[in-house]
Structure 1
Amino acid sequence: MSNPASSRLAIGFAFGILSAVIWGVQSVVSRQSVVDGLSAGDVTILRFLAASLVLLPFAIARLKPFPVGKLGWKRALILTAIVGPSYSLILVGGAHFAPALHSSVISPGLIPVATALLAVFVLGDRISPLRVIGLAIIVAGIVVFSFEAMANTPTREGAWIGDLLFVLIALLWSVFGLLARRWGADAVEVTMATCLLSVPLLPLLALVQPVNLLSVPLPAIALQALYQGVLVGAVALFLYTEAVTILGAARAALFLPLVPVVTALSGAIMLGEQASTLEIAGMALAVTGMVVALRAPSSA
């Protein structure tokens, strides 16, 4: 006879692993959009339309007032400006220049670094010595990882542009996290509100970005809509939120270092993108730093 507590724990671990797998493959799917001839604008439109269609019934039932909920219009609009269409454009735009692995190492690696710095200088938080060590290891790892791209070597020519865009992603996500924490925002409600508020901006996006949807094969369009919109926009959010509920935020966050590992494996299999020796060494350092930082107490 199975132990209910053990079964629930196993479900939490399964949800955490699945969410990390979905986020890990996302970088590869974004990179595939380049191969398929989709622009950053195309992917952004598909992502928010698909996610909004999936989330709309839940949002109608949960968000009072609709579509901003407890956040209110001002805060919801600010968060949408940070992680709405502009965020997606930067993310997918970076994939046009840099290999998929760069997105999943640089952004997740720098998010805890930027968040810690903002928390210290803006909120006056204190961080433990162990977390400082972990963050320093992350920075060292990303420097090693990005060396060839920043040196513009023939094997990574132009990748530095994507890397800088991924740094910007980390900064945006850190500001978003800081504001969400300060406002006590619910993760699920924030995702619903920002997705729905992004939809009216999509026609404007089509005016300033190339749209190739009519000239791209339907399977390529379906891949981006289903993966970016449904799996990333809705399913991964639900899985990770449930993992946090079952395991707690600290234990659930320990699955995040799996993201670059999944990207490395799926990028090699699906795109034939092989990491260099320096990139592997940098990724190993960054993942080690992420584990150290996540295991450390948040304050001294």
Structure 2
Amino acid sequence: MTIRTPWLGILCGLLTAVIWGVQAVVSRHAMLTGLTPADVTILRFVTAAAVLLPWALRHMRPFPVGALGWRRAWVMALLVGPLYSLLLVGGTYFAPALHNSIISPGLIPVFTALLVYLVTGERAGRMRLIGLGIIVAGIAIFSRDALAMASSRPDAWIGDLLFVLVAFLWSIFGLLARRWGASSLEITATSCLLAVPLLAVIALALPVNMTRVPFAELLLQAFYQGVLVGVVALYLYARTVATLGAARTTLFLPLVPIVTAAASALLLAESPSPTELVGMAVVVMGMLVAFRSPSVG
């Protein structure tokens, strides 16, 4: 059992990276087929809420907020609920899928370190700061074409800015989740369930095109975004942390942009430019340095 357990954690970590890496491609595909960010958001949270409802009814008291309480639960829902999804999917309308997997995961540790310093005064260790600096430099290189509004990336800068906001929201969410000590499954369940009444507002305020696209596309988005990303990836990530520890689990995150790059080329025929390839390599190197370094020192 002791021999097999690490391999189970490695397998769970690899599957998590694959699911997260392909998510950007699936979101981009939704935009190319005529769906809107509102469509994908509605499909994601309705499906995830339906899957998680039986567990929440059995384990969360009071329902549907559990140990978080109403105030904290609504904060979490606002950070990683429909708004988060609208920004994430909306970004893929303007920018290629790879931009999501480079900018958001890359900036999350940068924003997190900055917020920790501003709130607590705790400084990151020297090697982690070096890694974070490499990440920022890599993202600057990666986004050069988008910021210059190159003909191949005319509106990508809009998507890139949305991905920056996604990283900022996730950083706040991560710090609050750690501070409040709530389980990842409980946070996900309450965020999805509290999102359901907000979906009616989204459907009324934003364009909805579900009736104009093939039913198979709706099933793909509901299953991938709601089940695989919303439930399965969460479970796999939690198992990876439990088996390998939080520090080792972060080493799987640099695989996300690599998976996205491969899936984008195979499924969407979207290939990164030479500048984007260089920036991607620099970001991945910075993530490896930052994640392997102590948080303080």
| TM bracket, shorter-chain basis | over 0.9
Q: Which residue of 2 aligns with 1:242?
A: 239
Distance in 2, matches of 1:163 and 1:185, equals 31
Q: Which amino acid aligns with 2:226?
A: G
For 2:163, the aligned partner's letter is F
Aligned counterpart in structure 2 of residue 292 of structure 1, from 278, 289, 293: 289
Aligned residue runs from structure 1 range 145-160, under 5 A: 145-160=142-157
Aligned partner of 2:274 among 266, 277, 291 = 277
- Aligned-pair distance for 1:126? 2.2
Unpaired runs of at least 5, structure 1: none
Q: Deviations over 1:35-89 (max 9, x none)?
A: 1110000000000011111111111222121111110000000111111101100
Question: Paired residue for 1:177?
Answer: 174
* 197, 219, 223: which one aligns with 1:222: 219
What's the offset of the Cα at 1:279?
Answer: 0.4
Q: 1:190 corresponds to which residue?
A: 187
Q: Aligned ranges for residues 96-111 of structure 1 at < 5 Å?
A: 96-111=93-108
Q: Which residue of 2 aligns with 1:74?
A: 71
Cα distance in 1 for partners of 2:59, 2:136 equals 40
- Name the amino acid aligned to 2:272: A
Give TM-score, length-normalised by structure 2: 0.99
- 2:94 is paired with a residue of what secondary structure? coil
Which of 119, 123, 128 is matched with 1:126 structurally? 123
Please give the residue correspondences for 1:9-48 in structure 2 after superposition, counting only pairs within 5 Å: 9-48=6-45
Amino acid corresponding to residue 122 of structure 2 in structure 1: D
Once residues 240 and 97 of structure 1 are traced to their aligned partners in structure 2, the CA distance between those partners, rounded to angstroms, is 29
Moved over 3 A (4+): none
Aligned length: 297
Return the alpha-carbon distance in structure 2 between the equivalents of residues 83 and 215 of structure 1.
28
Q: Which residue is 2:260 aligned to? A: 263
Structure 1 stretch displaced more, 177-186 or 289-298: 177-186
Distance 2:188 2:122 in 1: 26
Partner Cα distance (2:61, 2:287) in 1: 37
Aligned to 1:161: 158
Letter in 2 for 1:161: I
Cα deviation for residue 192 of structure 1 reads 0.8
* Residue ranges of structure 2 left out of the alignment (5+ in a row): none
* 1:226 alignment partner AA: F
Take 1:6 and 1:51, find their aligned partners in 2: how far apart are those partners?
34
The one-letter code sitting in structure 1 at the alignment partner of 2:283 is: A
SS of the residue aligned with 1:38? coil
